[in-house]
Amino acid sequence: MLPDTEMAAAPLIVHLIHRLDVGGLENGLINLINHLPPGRYRHAIVCLRDYTDYHLRIERPGVEIISINKRDGKDWGHYLRLFQTLKRLRPLLIHTRNLSGIEGQLLAACAGVRLRVHGEHGRDIDDLHGLSLKYRCLRKLLRPLIGHFIAVSKDLEAWLIGTIGARPQHVTHIGNGVDSLQFHPRLGPTAAVGPAGFLCEDAYVIGSVGRMAEVKDHLSLVQAFILLIAEHALPRNRLRLLIAGDGPCRQACLDLLRQAGMEELAWLPGTRDDIPQLMRAMDVFVLPSLAEGTSNTILEAMASGLPVVATAVGGNPDLVHSGWTGTLVPPRSPAMLADAINDYYRLPALAASHGQRGRRRVLAEYSLIAMADAYLAVYDSLAAPPQRDR
């Protein structure tokens, strides 16, 4: 561990996010802080809303977490609170993320924060394709204040350059990384997970992990699960559905399963902290999102040796090579989701080969160290003293 004096002398980076809770963006931020070289930079996380126990996953000492406590709607007072917080912290660099944080760029400039980075990690249900005139104008207005953009997918990189007008030399594509030691294929019999009777002998588990919000479209997965039994005639004594995560759409999924008489075949446990173990209980992983950046859960599923069925949106095609490591289908297509899952159920060798290839690809291209090194290169290039002509 570095001496306190050396840590205190390291320049500070403020990471501005909406809320620190379970989610892909938040998981990526924590992984980044945990894997950047200790002592190079100090870190503080400023949450526009608040934070949960999810912050306990941070392994680096001395990371300050601050809540601005922004109220719903237009809370003008939160701008003053954010400005005062930045003046107190006096960071070398601020790194904002997504639409909810981009206004912080203006407050940071006013507070004298010299270096400013903005990251795009994916879109919400209100602007799935980045076409909202209001939000495009906001980003274009603030673009001159941003020293560098980071896009987690090639789709977002192209959008920042082509639609928002960012200069290509000021945009870097950095995909997420995954812990391939924590997430690994099943090494023996399936561990007992879920309530009594859920994992029956010879169960075939269709799984998903993620925030159960409308943009993730877990209802399409539930509809596909019902189709597999009702129309594809897959045996209900084997088929199981596992969706780990919480959010406003969880109850609607439970209601749909209950109406179909399949509630006992599914387990929707809400937020969990044993995702690696749950992944190893799955036979196929499904991500039916309407929009994505670079999905952490797809990478975790690939690292776990699972074939992946995902929608062909955002950064998913960058990760899933259809017909090689998984299958891509259009969004909002329960019938096509069911067809893809059915292929893996009926062709176990295909599922195994796709899962093995996915694992190899993660090991080669999506390590946490490679991700941290790419962010570090951006931070260091901005923080380096300007070169003067001799």
Question: What confidence tens digit (pLDDT) does each residue in 143-171 have?
Answer: 999 999 999 999 999 999 999 999 999 99
Average pLDDT over residues 111-116: 98
What is the Cα–Cα distance from 106 to 290, expressed in whole angstroms? Answer: 30
Supply the pLDDT for residue 247.
94
Where along the chain do the CATH 3.40.50.2000 domains lie? 4-177+368-383, 204-365
Look at residues 59, 56, 80 and name the one whose alpha carbon lies nearest to residue 68. 80
pTM score: 0.89
Q: For domain 4-177+368-383, which CATH number applies: 3.30.70.360, 3.40.50.740, 3.40.50.300, 3.40.50.2000?
A: 3.40.50.2000
DSSP code, position 197 = T
Tally of CA atoms within 13 A in the half-sphere of 384 that contains its CB: 9
Average pLDDT, the chain: 94
For the ranges 78-92, 180-194, 205-219, 323-337, which has the lowest average pLDDT?
180-194
- Token pair of 374 as six digits: 């790419």
pLDDT at 133 over 50: yes
Supply the pLDDT for residue 389.
53
DSSP code, position 367 = B
pLDDT at 289 over 80: yes
235-274: pLDDT as tens digits: 999 999 999 999 999 999 999 999 999 999 999 999 999 9
Average pLDDT over residues 365-369: 94
pLDDT at 56 over 60: yes
Tally of CA atoms within 13 A in the half-sphere of 314 that contains its CB: 31
pLDDT at 390 over 50: no
Percent of residues, the chain, with pLDDT higher than 70 = 97
CATH fold of the domain at 204-365: Rossmann fold (3.40.50)
Give 388's pLDDT tier (boundaries 50, 70, 90).
low
Look at residues 279, 336, 346 and name the one whose alpha carbon lies nearest to residue 309. 336
Long-range pairs of 130-136 with CB within 8 A, sequence gap ≥ 24: 130/159, 130/163, 135/99, 136/163, 136/164
Supply the pLDDT for residue 23.
86
DSSP states of 136-173: HHHHHHHGGG-SEEEESSHHHHHHIIIII---GGGEEE
